Amino acid sequence: MTGRLAAGLAIAAALSVWVWRSAGVGAPRAATPASAPARSSAPPSPGAAEPVRLSRDPFRYADAPLVVREAAPAPPRPAPTPIAPIRNPDAAVRLSGFARQSGVLKAVLNLLGSVVVVGAGETVEGYRVLSVDEERGVRLLQPDGTEITLPPSDR
């Protein structure tokens, strides 16, 4: 059995060498004599590929005058949409809306960063609610004793 294995390996090696040589890999190339002309004077056969011709002379483009194209004008930017002004943005108290609790109209206020729901006559953080009306707004008495009216939003 060892003889058969050795014979099989020898045949496989000979076959692979034959295929390798027939494909041209590793085969020595025929040397071209230095005196042979680079091109033959015979017209090329119809199946032969034509030489590649350049579309421009790469050594002459620097002599051509420089053509400066003006940049296309930038498209006009749309005008920014106006933002509705915030009424008294520095105020410590703002009217956020209205709510009804047990049938009583109450104001939803943003007071010093927290949201509170208060009705007429109630006091919160030193602010006393004098009146609540959906059409006229909310009247408040500030801690310093001044009276302000918070108008309802235009929504």
Report the pLDDT value the prediction gives residue 20, as an integer from 0 to 100. 77
Short-list 71, 76, 91, CA closest to 140: 91
- For 66, 68, 75, 77, 78, the CA distances from 71, given in Å and listed in that order, are 15, 9, 12, 17, 21
Report the pLDDT value the prediction gives residue 63, as an integer from 0 to 100. 59
Sheet holding 114-118, edge to edge: 93-101, 104-111, 114-118
Report the pLDDT value the prediction gives residue 1, as an integer from 0 to 100. 64
Report the pLDDT value the prediction gives residue 119, as an integer from 0 to 100. 92
Q: What is the pLDDT of residues 57-108, one digit of tens each?
A: 666 655 566 666 788 888 888 888 776 555 554 567 888 899 998 889 999 9
The CA-based angle 112-113-114, given to 5 degrees, is 100
Report the pLDDT value the prediction gives residue 122, as an integer from 0 to 100. 92
Between CA 134 and CA 51 the distance in angstroms is 89
User: Is it the case that residue 38 has pLDDT exceeding 60?
Assistant: no
Ordered by start, the domain boundaries in the chain are 93-150
